[in-house]
Chains A and B, each alone.
Chain A
């Protein structure tokens, strides 16, 4: 119990920023998806850390983390399916080139 809570929070913040950077900077749609996964996991670290340090007698933090896992898994499945579909139609997975929704 020598490691303080703030370290976990700093780690989670770092991980979140790396993920955000990946989402904003990478052209590849799969890489963007990976960035999103990183951000989600940063959130998970926060959830678990807060649970452990603030209120270990209740299970809310762990349950929330598991729900986020499940959501992330579903999101990845849908996201990859979309990317495959886009690739089949337009032969590209670069986010810049998928701009059908512009004015």
Chain B
């Protein structure tokens, strides 16, 4: 029963994708009904299976798994199958919730029920429609998205990819889901394909993640050649892990396990936008906001972390519990560096979605760092809570942008609806959005006790501290401080103070399809953290059992122990979040324009010029090579030259045949010759056609007599 549900989980969105694409493309209500119905079915299946899994004692040992041989590869088979263990169960839980909420939200975001805009065209965001009310006043109101059904088809395909990735029990189908999501990410970032920025961002995202995927595929291939299987539970058998950990490879003295882990981790670096492959994620904000929420905050980028979490036993195969292995050090370094690095960029961004994008990169860095220091449970915990509150924040920002666009259309204000320095005072205009955004922001900042973000981030800090990684601890604490600071900066600029533009002045609350998902996600952003309160936490510890740690920790062969309780990380995480929040409010409470914002440092504003460096170092040379070498030299000179020579030879042969064969022999001799003979003989023979009947008769009779005489003589001579 559970196995069947698990097999069927990814299918409804896939079916919905095809049906919308082929049949219901013209009908908006049917399309979103199908999409949400499919997401709802998958959600229902997830909930059923999740509840059942909770009832299984020792679930980490008694997982739900089913598989079969799929592709023969000589002597062995590639197996595919599904697997539900505690880690994939909690992942499935947040994936199902966020996907369903974001699907519902998309209805409102794409202005379902509004009239079609007069000047709207496919490939551009809707620009508003004029309507006349009953009093005869003309208003400009938001118009419905021109490619409404297409959007739902794409997100359905995406949901299929994500579900496939989470339920698969092997790297092969995981990689398939991974790539399907990559494709959907490309399609949805470039959803408004008539915008050059969106097009470029889509290509950039696809190319950048491709870099990671190539290494990941190398890692998978290496793993397959080393072990002969890609199924997780086969690979994670102690015997196999021991062999992998003790095999030495020629690369940097890494063990096979370390090298495979590193290669697969590079895939994560691409997908989860870690330094140095983080550049695509901020640009990906060109896509519609539900896409940013779903793909670029809650699910797809989380898939990268999910992958390293999945491969955790392999990555830590040669970890003795004391000093980090080179692979783990690399992972911890990348994660920590990204967390701090992206946080510093986020404080100087003015686009509401860009701030969240860098915040996502930074938070993913936290998770990666947690995996790097061996804090398995903390990474998964932050993965789940982050998915909830970051989806909430993105949807909230979408709601803000939507309200701003509404105000802009109403007042005719041309201000950029995404620039926070055009906002302000939205607290009163959009109360529901404000309160949910505040909850999400506090969760992101790690507001103590109440919010989920506090518990998960605290656990990462505690693990880093408890295992003695001081530098990582300090860097992450700084990043957490910056997180609280830029979050409060964002909230202050957006919601507090007087409005900074006409658009903000006339902004209005968004429809219920958008606010209900916000409320649902806000509940999780607060409540989910209470499932993972450490046992030894003062006062609160022990009231609720640390269910999350026990449940998820059971996935590993040897369940990890909670780090020893220490006041230093606790006070640090309390301090950085409260001080950060206060500073954010205090500094920005009176800032009216970017000129008076002291953090608009060019270096931060321009994201450390990484895009420019990549452009100079990679894009330009690649363009130069493709232009000069591939196009001009290879293509034009060699290939075209070869083709032209062949063509010239053919032309020469053709000319020779024409001049020496066709014209004299065929035309002259056969064609014209026949005609000439016929003509001359006709001219000469016509004289016998005298027209006199008696002349004809004489000729006839003469010929008759001759023939008779001939026959007569022949007859007798031959006889």
Q: Which residues of A contact B (CB under 8 A)?
A: 20, 23-24, 32, 95-96, 98-103
Q: Specify which chain A residues have a CB less than 8 angstroms from the CB of B693 in the assembled complex.
A: 32, 95, 98
Given A95-B694, A99-B692, 17 other A-B residues pairs in contact with their CB atoms under 8 A: A20-B701, A23-B694, A23-B697, A24-B698, A24-B701, A32-B694, A96-B692, A96-B694, A98-B693, A99-B691, A100-B691, A101-B689, A101-B691, A102-B690, A102-B692, A103-B690, A103-B691
- In the bound assembly, the distance between CA atoms of A57 and B638 in angstroms comes to 101
Instruction: Decide if B689 touches A102 in the complex (CB within 8 Å).
Output: yes
Q: Is B686 among interface residues, defined by CB-CB distance under 8 A?
A: yes
Q: Nearest 10 A-B pairs (CB), nearest first?
A: A102-B691, A99-B691, A103-B686, A103-B689, A101-B691, A102-B690, A99-B692, A95-B693, A95-B694, A24-B694
Q: Is B119 engaged at the interface, CB distance under 8 Å to the other chain? A: no
Q: Is the CB of A99 within 8 A of B694?
A: no
A95-B692, A96-B692, A99-B692 known; A24 and B697 CB under 8 Å?
A: yes
Q: Does B687 contact A (CB under 8 A)?
A: yes
Chain A proximity mask over B689-708: 1 for CB below 8 Å, otherwise 0? 11111100110010000000
Cα-based distance from A43 to B690 in the complex (angstroms): 30
A32 to B686, CA, bound (A): 26
Chain B residue contacts of A102, Cβ below 8 A: 689-692
| B698 contact set on A, CB distance < 8 A | 24
Q: Offer 23 A-B interface pairs, CB within 8 angstroms, sorted by A.
A: A20-B701, A23-B697, A24-B694, A24-B698, A24-B701, A32-B693, A32-B694, A96-B692, A96-B694, A98-B693, A99-B690, A99-B691, A99-B692, A100-B691, A101-B689, A101-B691, A102-B689, A102-B691, A102-B692, A103-B686, A103-B687, A103-B690, A103-B691
In the bound complex, CA of A24 to CA of B692 (Å) = 11
> Given the complex, which residues of A lie within 8 Å of B686, measured CB to CB?
103
Chain B interface SS verdict (over half):
helix
In the complex, what distance in Å separates the CA atom of A20 from the CA atom of B693?
Answer: 14
Which residues, 661 to 702 on B, are CB-close (under 8 Å) to A? 686-687, 689-694, 697-698, 701
CA distance A100 to B689 in the complex (A): 11
Q: How far is the CA of A96 from the CA of B693 in the complex (A)?
A: 8
A93 CB → nearest B CB, Å: 12
**Docked CA distance A98–B693 (Å):** 8
* CB closest chain-B residue, reference A23: B697
Determine the chain B residues whose CB is within 8 A of the CB of A96 once the complex forms. Answer: 692, 694
Residues of B within 8 A of A101 (CB): 689, 691
Cα A32 to Cα B687 in complex, Å, equals 24
Closest CB in chain A relative to B132 CB, distance in Å: 92
Most buried by A among B690, B694, B698: B694
CA distance A46 to B686 in the complex (A): 39
Nearest B residue to A100 via CB reads B691
Give CA–CA (A98, B284) in the complex, Å. 102
Interface residues on B, range: 10 to 19
B15 to chain A, nearest CB (A): 86
Given the complex, which residues of A lie within 8 Å of B694, measured CB to CB?
23-24, 32, 95-96
- The distance from the CB of A94 to the nearest CB of chain B, in whole angstroms, is 10
For A100, the chain B residues whose CB sits under 8 A away are 691
- Whole-angstrom distance from the CB of A99 to the nearest CB of chain B? 3
Interface string of B399-410 (1 = CB under 8 A from A): 000000000000
Chain A residues with CB under 8 A of B692? 95-96, 99, 102
CA distance A95 to B691 in the complex (A): 10
Q: How far is the CB of A24 from chain B (nearest CB, A)?
A: 6
Chain B contacts for A24, CB-based, 8 A: 694, 697-698, 701
Q: How far is the CA of A87 from the CA of B108 in the complex (A)?
A: 105
CB B681 to nearest CB in A, in angstroms, measures: 14
Residues on A with C-beta less than 8 A from B691 are 99-103
CA distance A95 to B696 in the complex (A): 12
CB distance from A95 to the nearest CB of B (A): 5
CB neighbours (8 Å) of A32 from chain B are: 693-694
A102 to B696, CA, bound (A): 11
Nearest chain A CB to B312's CB is how many angstroms away?
A: 109
* Chain B nearest CB, measured from A28 CB (Å): 11
Cα-based distance from A46 to B116 in the complex (angstroms): 107
List residues of chain B with CB within 8 A of the CB of A23: 694, 697
CA distance A99 to B686 in the complex (A): 14
Which A-chain residue is minimally distant from B686 (CB atoms)?
A: A103
Nearest neighbor of B696 in chain A, beta-carbon distance: A101
Q: How far is the CB of A76 from chain B (nearest CB, A)?
A: 17
A47–B533 alpha-carbon span in the complex (Å)? 138
* Most chain B beta-carbon contacts within 10 A, residue among A23, A95, A103: A103
Chain A proximity of B52: nearest CB distance (Å): 109
Q: Compute how far the CA of A61 lies from the CA of B522 in the bound complex, rounded to whole angstroms.
A: 126
Distance (whole angstroms) from the CB of A83 to the closest CB of chain B: 12
A100-B690 Cα distance, complex, nearest whole Å: 9
Scan B525-550; emit 1 where CB is below 8 A from any A CB, else 0: 00000000000000000000000000
Docked Cα-Cα span, A20 to B687, in Å, equals: 25
A32 vs B690: C-alpha distance when bound (angstroms): 18
Q: In the complex, how many angstroms separate the beta carbon of B686 from the nearest chain A beta carbon? A: 4
Against A, the Cβ 8 Å flags (1 = close, 0 = not) of B629-667 are: 000000000000000000000000000000000000000
B685's nearest neighbour on chain A, judged by CB, is: A103
Q: How far is the CA of A95 from the CA of B695 in the complex (A)?
A: 10
Measured between alpha carbons, how far is A18 from B698 in the docked complex, in Å? 15
Complex Cα–Cα for A97 and B697 (A)? 16
Task: Output the least CB separation between B308 and chain A (Å).
Answer: 104
Q: How far is the CB of A75 from chain B (nearest CB, A)?
A: 15
B294: min CB distance to chain A, Å: 95
Q: Residues of A contacting B697 with CB < 8 Å?
A: 23-24
What's the nearest-Cβ distance from chain B to residue A18, in Å? 15
Complex interface: chain B residues within 8 A of A95 (CB): 692-694
Shortest beta-carbon distance from A31 to chain B in Å: 11
The answer for the CA separation of A102 and B689 in the assembled complex, in Å, is: 5
- Closest Cβ neighbor of B690 among chain A residues: A102
Q: Mark B123-156, 1 if CB is under 8 A from A, else 0.
A: 0000000000000000000000000000000000
Q: Which residues on B sit within 8 Å (CB–CB) of A20?
A: 701
Residue of B nearest to A26 (CB): B694
- Complex formed: what's the CA distance from A51 to B692 in Å? 38
Most buried by A among B686, B687, B693, B697: B693
CA of A20 to CA of B702, assembled, Å: 12
Find the B residue at minimum CB distance from A20: B701
Nearest Cβ on chain A to B429's Cβ, whole angstroms: 108
The chain A residue with its CB closest to the CB of B689 is A103
Which partner residue on chain B sits nearest A25 by CB separation?
B694
- Alpha-carbon distance A23/B687, docked complex (angstroms): 23
**Nearest CB of chain B from residue A92's CB, rounded to whole Å:** 14
Distance of B441 from chain A, by nearest CB (Å): 112
Docked Cα-Cα span, A23 to B694, in Å, equals 8
- Name the residue of chain A whose CB is nearest to the CB of B693: A95
How distant is B703 from chain A, measured CB to nearest CB, in Å?
Answer: 14
B610 CB → nearest A CB, Å: 99
Residue of B nearest to A99 (CB): B691
Instruction: For the complex formed, measure the closest distance between the CB of A20 and the CB atoms of chain B, giving whole angstroms.
Output: 7
Complex Cα distance, B694 from A95, in Å, reads 8
Q: Closest Cβ of chain B: how far from A39's Cβ, in Å?
A: 12
B690 → chain A closest CB, angstroms = 5
What 0/1 readout, one digit per residue, does chain B (466-479) give for beta carbons within 8 Å of chain A? 00000000000000
Q: Which residues of A contact B687 (CB under 8 A)?
A: 103
Bound complex: CA of A47 vs CA of B481, how far in Å? Answer: 139
The chain A residue with its CB closest to the CB of B682 is: A103
Tell me the minimal C-beta distance from B497 to chain A in angstroms.
Answer: 115
